[in-house]
């Protein structure tokens, strides 16, 4: 593991994620991929290769604010503002105003948003600290950012294969995944 940490990471990420396929064959209500697999793989590899300092380093990077609070407020508030403006514009242009029942659904939006933001495992985001927090910096050692992103994109797309087989992710999403990995990195 210490000799080939990045290969170990990817093998563990797939193994710790794809065990969900077994449960999915028993109960189709369960996800075929455990989304926390890449994060758990990163923690295991870091614990063995760098000890407590490596694990703490990854965890600290996950909560470090990289821009001012105004940028976070804009990123979180802008989609809500655009949606409200679109709704208002529709009504001003003659669409029927939303009923109280339709607007009642909005009351659950904010708590759901914060649960997904603060507990990312519910939204499937636990894979990201593994992919971008651990794997990407390792892949960028001695490689260009583009080449590292392309390698990572192929491996992330492959990781989604069980979701494609069961029809939860379309095969054409491979292109989207590859593009997102390159853009986000």
Q: Which residues are catalytic?
A: 127, 160
Instruction: Kindly write down the DSSP assignment for every residue of 161-178, as one continuous string.
Output: HHHHHTTSS-TTHHHHHH
Q: Are 130 and 58 a contacting pair, CB within 8 Å? A: no
Q: What is the C-alpha to C-alpha distance for residues 36 and 33, in angstroms, rounded to an integer?
A: 9
The Cα angle at residue 18 between residues 16 and 23, in degrees rounded to 5: 110
Q: Are 12 and 5 a contacting pair, CB within 8 Å? A: no
Q: What is the C-alpha to C-alpha distance for residues 136 and 145, in angstroms, rounded to an integer?
A: 9
- Nearest residue to 103 (alpha-carbon basis) of 91, 118, 115: 91
Can you state the percent helix, strand and coil of the chain, rounding each to 5?
75, 0, 25
Q: What is the C-alpha to C-alpha distance for residues 58 and 93, in angstroms, rounded to an integer?
A: 50
């Amino acid at each position: 593991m210490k000799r080939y940490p990045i290969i170990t990471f990817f093998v563990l990420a797939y193994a710790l994620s794809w065990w969900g396929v077994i449960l999915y064959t028993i109960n189709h209500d369960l996800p075929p991929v455990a989304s926390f697999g890449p994060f758990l793989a990163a923690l295991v590899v870091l614990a063995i290769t760098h000890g407590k300092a490596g694990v703490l380093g990854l965890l600290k990077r996950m909560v470090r604010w990289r821009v001012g609070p105004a940028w976070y407020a804009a990123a979180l508030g802008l989609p809500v503002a655009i949606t409200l403006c679109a709704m208002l514009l529709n009504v001003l242009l003659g669409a029927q105003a939303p009923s109280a029942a339709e607007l009642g659904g909005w009351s659950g939006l904010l708590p759901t948003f914060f649960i997904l933001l603060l507990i990312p495992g519910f939204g499937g985001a636990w894979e990201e600290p593994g992919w971008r927090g651990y794997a990407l910096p390792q892949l960028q050692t001695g490689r260009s950012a583009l080449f590292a992103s392309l390698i990572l994109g192929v491996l992330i797309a492959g990781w989604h294969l069980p979701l494609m087989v069961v029809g939860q992710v379309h095969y054409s999403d491979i292109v989207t995944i590859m593009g997102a990995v390159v853009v986000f990195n």
